[in-house]
Structure 1
Amino acid sequence: MIKQLPPRSTLTWATLALLSACSATPVVPSSLVQARTAMEEAQAQPEVVRLASDELQRAGEALRQAEQAQTRDAGADTVGHLAYLARQRVTLAVDSASSRSGQAAVRNAAAERDREQLGRRTAEADAAGAALGQAQQNQATQQARISEMDSQLRALKAQPTDRGMVVTLGDMRFATNQSTLSADGEHSLSQLADFMKRFPQRRVLIEGHADSQGSSESNQRLSERRAQTVNNALLSLGVAADRLSATAVGETHPVATNATAEGRRMNRRVEVIFVPEDVTTNPPAPRS
């Protein structure tokens, strides 16, 4: 178990204060003492060293900077600030290790459930015996998978087009000149990523769109950032990069009039297109 850092090292600081009172050596700020103590405690935890080595290394570098500032007498404020940053990095290392440890436990539990489920299915298949029975079972499984896929696409409000099923989630709209997803948008992308993990044969084309405000060049760049925002979010959620293709459409393919605020809001969007295997991922032709 990873031990969380205490808010401060009271005993160490009290000892240092006593020693400082009896010595001519400059007093070390308590924040630096606490950062050193936190670092030592983190380094003493094997899981932190194993699971957050990069973060721990950065924390060590931050602590060295604080200690160097103390050595050259850079001032209490500077030393205190650098010590605070060092302690924050130590805390980040401990928290990262704890998170990764928990994720590993979840993955192991899921893998065990998968192995058990696979074992049950294997036993059922062996018991079935006849080739005809096995074929029927495979067909039923395939039909169930197709039905589940259709149900999931309907839940995502996907619409059929000549280029494939298109998902335009309402909360994936963007503010003017913005390419940052809202919390609701991130939740919707999490659902989309879950679907793609469940059906790993599906590829998607991610199209960024903009309204007509501003120049065509700036809108093209803005729509590219929007498409890349969604692309990066899906990557971070575990979707393989070779299943994603992002492109910028700019203002050339509106779904509503740009003459009204509501129409422009609808045009500031990202469309996610589930591409059939025999279709090339090309952007749509511009609308007049």
Structure 2
Amino acid sequence: MKTRSTISLLAAAVLAAACATAPISTPTLDAARADFVAANNNPQVSQYAPLEFKQASDSLDQANAAAARRESLNDIDRLAYVAKQRIATAIEVAKAKAAEADIANAAQQRDQVRLEARTAEAERARREAEAAQAQAAQARMQAEAAQQQAAAAQQQNAALAQRAAALEALLVEMQAVKTERGYVVTIGDVLFATNQANLTPNGMSSLRKLAEVMAQNPNRTVLVEGFTDSTGSAQYNQELSQRRAEAVASALAGLGVPRERIAMRAYGQAFPVAPNDTAANRQLNRRVEIVLSNEGAQIPPRSAGR
């Protein structure tokens, strides 16, 4: 019994030392510790109430551990209160059993001792009931906290699903194509002034929708890529694809998309999507492609066939 009690006291001392740089305690916990020392020094407790005192010691260990973990003062107080009540119970049980032992040697005091024993038993029951109520209150609080966390997680998932649905709808409206690099929105030749890099009103309308997507998805970036057909010199086509890509990037920045979320490349007549053998095919090759990254991912570089 004394060995177990000594271990509990040592555990309390170690926990207190561990928090020396930022001590935490409550008056209830301090009182429980003092009561524990007093009970440990009471020979009647070790003789007549070893089980009750072990339960009290375990409860005090829980309160000390909660203090060492710097849990809320309410939780520490609740655990300390349970320990204090169980220490008092052990003392009362020891008194009751000691009184019962005295009955055999003092018949003339039997009635009084029995009364004290009944009173002690009633007090024990009351204290145990209070301890059980405190534990039940703590369990209710933990259950409520878990429910609140679950509700918050559900709301977050609903918000993510709603945002994903809105993104999908906008991308469908913009005729975006999903690729391994991300969603690709094509700004075709007809959305620029003829042989120029100025966007038409319809081109700006498409970019406004893309800017809305970017605003609703702050973890995504875009890569603006310019292309031309093979008509004219390679240098002229490279410059024209550069000007058109810059025009799109500048327009997105003007619509509120942070410039650090916009990258740009110009490829001239490279990477055609159709043969340059007819006017219709050449028009398909005169384009700006905007690659919208996957959530939180980098856009991989373009390679042959992509």
Counterpart in 1 of 2:209?
A: 191
> Taking structure 1 as the reference length, what is the TM-score of the superposition?
0.51
| Structure 1 equivalent of residue 164 of structure 2 | 146
Q: Is the 8 A contact 1:207 1:283 kept in 2?
A: no
C-alpha contact (below 8 Å) 1:207/1:270 kept by paired residues? yes
Change (3 A) 1:239 1:232: same
Q: Secondary structure at the match of 1:168?
A: strand
Counterpart of 1:191 in 2: which secondary structure? helix
Aligned partner letter, 2:206: S
Alignment match of 2:266 (pick from 245, 248, 260): 248
Whether the aligned pair in 1 keeps the contact of 2:227 and 2:287 (CA below 8 Å) is yes
Amino acid at match of 1:187: S
Percent same amino acid among aligned pairs? 43
Contact 2:226 2:288 survives alignment (8 Å):
yes
User: Is structure 2 residue 298 aligned with structure 1 residue 279?
Assistant: yes
- CA shift, 1:155, in A, is 1.5
Read off the aligned partner of 1:218 and give its amino acid letter.
Y
| Aligned counterpart in structure 2 of residue 209 of structure 1, from 227, 234, 245 | 227
Question: How many angstroms apart in 1 are the aligned matches of 2:237 and 2:187?
Answer: 20
Q: Matched residue of 1:207: which SS? A: strand
Asked if the contact 1:206–1:231 (Cα under 8 Å) also holds between the matched residues in 2, the reply is yes
Determine if contact 1:207/1:248 at 8 Å carries over to the other structure: yes
Match of residue 178 from structure 1: 196
The match for 2:285 among 263, 267, 284 is 267
Change (3 A) 1:197 1:207: same
**Once the 2 structures are TM-superposed, how far is the Cα of residue 224 of structure 1 from its aligned partner?**
0.6
Q: Which runs of 4+ in 1 moved over 6 A?
A: none
Match of 1:133? 151
Cα distance change on mapping 1:267 and 1:175 into 2, 3 Å = farther
Bigger share in helix? 2
The equivalent residue for 1:157 is 175
> Are 1:204 and 1:244, in contact at CA under 8 Å, matched by a contact in 2?
yes
Instruction: Show CA shifts across 1:154-173 (max 9, x none).
Output: 11111011211101144764
Contact 1:180 1:226 in 2 (8 A): yes
CA gap of 1:273–1:282, structure 2 versus 1, over 3 A, is same
Separation of aligned partners in 2, 1:260 and 1:143: 44
Q: For 1:199, give the aligned amino acid.
A: N
CA distance in 2 between partners of 1:170 and 1:187 (Å): 13
Contact 2:163 2:216 (C-alpha < 8 Å) held by counterparts: no
Structure 1 gap ranges (5+): 1-127
- Alpha-carbon distance between aligned partners in 1 of 2:191 and 2:274, rounded to the nearest angstrom: 13
Does the Cα contact within 8 Å between 2:170 and 2:209 map onto a contact in 1?
Answer: no
> How far did residue 282 of structure 1 move?
2.1
Q: 1:284: Cα distance to partner?
A: 3.6
Distance 2:188 2:287 in 1: 8
- In the alignment, the residues of structure 2 paired with residue 161 and residue 282 of structure 1 have an alpha-carbon distance, to the nearest angstrom, of 13
Give the equivalent residue in structure 2 for 1:21.
Answer: none
State the one-letter code of the partner of 2:250. Answer: N
Distance 1:214 1:286, change over 3 A: farther
Query: Do the aligned partners of 1:175 and 1:265 also contact (CA within 8 Å) in 2?
Result: no
Instruction: Point out the more displaced range, 277-286 or 208-217.
Output: 277-286
Distance 1:238 1:268 in 2: 26
Q: Return the alpha-carbon distance in structure 2 between the equivalents of residues 255 and 152 of structure 1.
A: 24
Whether 1:219 aligns to 2:237 is yes
- The answer to whether the Cα contact below 8 Å between 2:227 and 2:266 also exists between their aligned partners in 1 is yes
What is the letter of the counterpart of residue 230 of structure 2?
Answer: S
Separation in 2, partners of 1:230, 1:136: 38
Q: Given the two structures, how large is their TM-score scaled by the length of structure 2? A: 0.49
Q: Deviations over 1:167-226 (max 9, x none)?
A: 114476446632111111112111211221122221000000101011112111110111
